[in-house]
Structure formats: structure tokens, C-alpha cells
Structure 1
Amino acid sequence: MCIMAMAWAAHPRWRLILTGNRDEYHARPAAPLTHWDDRAGLIAGRDLQSGGTWLGVSEAGRAAIVTNLRGYGGSQPDRTSRGALVTDLLTGVGTYADVATASLAVFNPFNLILVDADRAHFLTNRPQPLRALLTPGLYGLSNGALDAPWPKTLALKAALLEWMTTDAEQPDRLFDALRRESLPEAGIAPASPSDAPDEAAASPIFIRNPLYGTRCSTVVAVDRDGQGHIMERRFDHEGEDSGETRLRFQW
């Protein structure tokens, strides 16, 4: 994922609202959002190149999302896929299943948020490994530091806040903000160009590009009773809709 906004324990009805776009090379194969056959209780899309996921939920009461962290050079292909960290943390099974002890240094630069039944964790491995608990509130994350005031991050957080403070009844309305292609003027533009060579140095929330662009948008909504929805909209190399999946789950 390349941008996300999250409200954690910040609304009287919703325990978790998470919205995000995955930006990736269109040539990289991926499977749509679904229940995984080989990982009990896991609901996520799947990176068919490395086998992990970028965002998902678990019927064990977890949600997780990872973004690349830029400014530390390009990815090193011999490192473990960041998707493996997300998958293990979601399912509680595997080499990286324990949030307190998982080795963070073996991955390319990343930011990760993991939500479980009553906590939200933030993990990163640059400039050094860090594990922290997040207090209830509204957060934004792209490819820089947590809550860095990049224009598109501020815009997505503002859209989520507006939804929360108006009707907050239909989570699928959050897809509108994830589809914005204009760059807002507020905030501080990223100080360095992207590690993806064909991505704009300061990009909008939705990237329309035939080589590297927004592949899918996802909205996760879990209410105070643990009833959850996860919705994914997918896009082709021209930025046009190519499919949608909506699934329910229970925490």
C-alpha cells in the first residue's frame, strides 16, 4: 500500500475504519480479495509474486497494512518480502507472527500498522527498528514517516474525518476520496522523489499510470460489536474499474 488513513477507537460506532490505496507495477501479478485456503481465517488480496499481502483482516480479530518507506534506496531483491510479515502477524502463525519479537531488519524499508482486539501497533525498520503502541485517534500514512504532512495524506485524513463527523453510515462512500486524482495544495510535498522511477515526485491519492499506478482501493470497517466489512475495488493499467469484492467478517 502507498497511502492509508485510519481511525482507531475514535468513533462511538466504529472501532476501526481503515482506507487505503495499493500502488504497484501493473505487471506484478496479484489475486483479488478473498478468504485464503491455506491460512485459516485470513481475508486479503494476494501478491502472486512473493505470496504475501499488503492489507488484510483476520477472523482472529486483527487487521494489518504495510507501506513501503522511501528515501532509503531501492528494494533489495534478496530480502524477505514485506508481505510475509503482514501475513504472519494477521494469522499468528509463522516466523514473524509475534509482534514483539519478529525480526524487522530482514525486510526492505517499511511502515506497518497492526490492529488487534484492543490495541494498535506501529512498526517500522528505518531509520532503526521501532515498535510502538498507538493511542486512539486518526492517523495517516504514505511512504514517509507516520503522519508526515504530505498533501495527499492530509487530504485522505480530512476526507475520513469529514465522513466520521457527518453521517458515518456508509463506509463505501470513502472510496470517493481514494479515487481523487488532483493534488491538494495544503501540506508539505515529499522531500525526495519516489523509489519507483515512473511515479510522480509528489503524487495524488489515486495514481493513473500505465506502468506503475493504483492497483486497488480498500475500505475496512469494524463496529463496536465486532461486525466487520472489507471492500476492495480494483483498477487496470488505464486506471479504469476492473472488479470489486465485498466480504463480511466477525471479530
Structure 2
Amino acid sequence: MCVTAIAYFVHPKYPFVLLFNRDEVFERPVSEIAEWTDEWEGIVAGRDLMAGGTWLGMNHDGKFVAVTNFRDSNTQTEQQKVPSIAVELDNRGAFLSRGLIPLQILRKNVNIVGELENLWEERSRYRSFNLLAGDVKGSGLYYFSVNQTENAFNGLKQLEQGLHCMSNTDISNNWKRTTTLKDELDCFLKNHEEFSPLDLLPLLTPELASNEPTQRAVSVFYKSNPINIGEKTISFGTVSSTIITVSISNEVNILERTWSRDQLSYADTSKSFYIST
């Protein structure tokens, strides 16, 4: 479960705006958004400390990638939608982590289309996923989807400039959480000439959560919920909210808000840099 919205060359002063709510088990260890080093130098992203990858990242060349799980929202129960840490650990050898995909695309001097074409050839090595990737300077925005359950591989699709919203089903589906976030972002951009990531944060925050079990998974913000899986009790919900803005002067501003387990408190991390030209 996750949801992301992108405004790609919609606003005259901010040609790239991205909102991302990450829904995950709170027990899964992560580190906050930061500059990566060594072989991944130039990448700015949070880090999954269990599998080593990331769910959302950007580099200093202006490339970005966002990845979500792909789930059948019509037939799965809430327990089935929530990943079990134990299951993922037991199956580490069966599939590669989807969090490794952004790293491959964000490496230095990598062609996005070429890397996505390679991903198409390697798709069977990953669990089902949705992916948005592109260049914030305008050379292209792409959607890629793999649904292993239904053996449906949508391949690579180039998207037009505009507003796009992706969650855990096909990007063309009008799921409540995607249409809500897309409409709210559209309204915000039409009514704000200047803004910061902090100004956009209310579009992702707990006020949007629902206490109704049937509405929890389709709300923009997923309210923390204890779930029993076998003998384990885990907490699942929105663990972080991230905003990225890129100005016409190529200034990148990122705000990541990491939520406590009860979602009543948080810690903010900010990053700023200029895209290399």
C-alpha cells in the first residue's frame, strides 16, 4: 500500500511536484532520506534497512523513481494486503527486492528507457509492482507495471505532461485514494503561485485518514492498525509522507515526515540541492 501523485509540467514556477505516502509495517527498519555514497553516490533517498533498497528516490541529474506494490484491491482481505515481515524474510531467495529497482535507474549515466527495457526482461524476478520514473527536466515520464498474480505485464508506457496519481492498482483505475489526492493537488496548484513542500503536506496528513475498516485502505492517509498474522501482531499504516518540489531554476526541495507508530508525533527531514545541468 502506498500512493503518489505527480504534477509534471503543470505549474509555471514548479514544473515538478511529487507527493508520496508510504504505507508499510512500522516494524520494518528504515533510515530517513539522505545522500547515498559509494556506488550509489548522487542518489537522494530513504533506505530500507531490511532489503537495502528504496521506495522513492532522486538523483542530482534530475531523474526520479517511485515504486509501489501492486495489489488486487477488489478481492484481497485487509490481512492479505499487509505484507508480513516473516514471509518476506523467508522468501528472500525467491524474488529480488523491488526496492533495488530505483537504484538501478538512478545510477549515474543510466538511460531511463534502456533501464526500463532491461527491467521488462527481468520482470519475473520481482513481486508485482507499479513504477513511475522520469526526468524532472522534461525529457520523459514513464509508467511500468507488473502484476504477477494475474500474469499481466503492461510494459512501458510514456505519460503526457499533466497530473498523474498511482497507488496499488493500474494507474488508469479510478481508485478513491488516487482520485482524491489528484483532485486535491490539482486544486492546490491552481490556487497557489508560490509554495513550499511544507505547504503541500496537509494533502497527505492524518486528517485524511478514516476510522472505518472498509475505508481505511482507500484513504490517502492509512490510519495505523494492529493486525494479527499468525502469532505475530504488527502495526500497518502510513509510516512516512514525502514532498518533492523542483523549481524552474532547478532547485530541489524535499521534505520527509516520518510518523510514529500511533501517528500522533513525527520527525521531519529536509534536503535541498540544485540539479546539475
Q: What range describes the TM-score normalised by the shorter chain of this pair?
A: 0.7 to 0.9
Higher helix share: 2
Contact 1:32 1:45 in 2 (8 A): yes
Give % identity.
28
Matched with 1:227 is: 251
Q: Is 1:140 the counterpart of 2:145 in the alignment?
A: no
Matched with 1:125 is: 146
- Cα distance in 1 for partners of 2:193, 2:202 equals 14
C-alpha offsets along residues 219-245 of structure 1, whole Å, 9 cap, x if unaligned?
Answer: 011122211111100001101233111
Matched with 1:176 is: 202
Q: Tell me, which stretches of 5 or more residues in structure 2 are unaligned?
A: 227-234
3-state SS in 1 of match to 2:178: helix
3-state SS in 1 of match to 2:182: helix
Matched with 1:215 is: 239
Query: Structure 1 residue 46: deviation in Å?
Result: 0.4
Contact 2:63 2:133 in 1 (8 A): yes
Matched with 2:181 is: 156
Contact 2:142 2:156 in 1 (8 A): yes
C-alpha offsets along residues 105-160 of structure 1, whole Å, 9 cap, x if unaligned?
Answer: 21111110011132111111121141111110101111111042111211111111
Aligned AA (1:241) = S
- Cα distance in 2 for partners of 1:58, 1:156 equals 25
Query: Structure 1 residue 17: deviation in Å?
Result: 0.5
Task: State the aligned residue count.
Answer: 236
Matched with 2:220 is: 205
Shift of the 243–4 alpha-carbon distance from structure 1 to 2, 3 Å rule, reads same
Matched with 1:100 is: 117
Matched with 2:95 is: 79
Matched with 2:3 is: 3
Contact 2:42 2:108 in 1 (8 A): no
Matched with 2:274 is: 250
- Cα distance in 1 for partners of 2:215, 2:100 equals 28
Moved more, 205-214 or 105-114: 205-214
Moved more, 98-107 or 52-61: 98-107
Contact 2:19 2:244 in 1 (8 A): yes
3-state SS in 2 of match to 1:160: helix
3-state SS in 2 of match to 1:212: strand
- Cα distance in 1 for partners of 2:141, 2:273 equals 19
Query: Structure 1 residue 55: deviation in Å?
Result: 0.5
Contact 1:226 1:250 in 2 (8 A): yes
Matched with 1:240 is: 264
- Cα distance in 2 for partners of 1:162, 1:129 equals 30
- Cα distance in 2 for partners of 1:30, 1:240 equals 19
Query: Structure 1 residue 167: deviation in Å?
Result: 1.2
3-state SS in 2 of match to 1:10: coil
Matched with 2:15 is: 15
Whose radius of gyration is greater, 1 or 2? 2
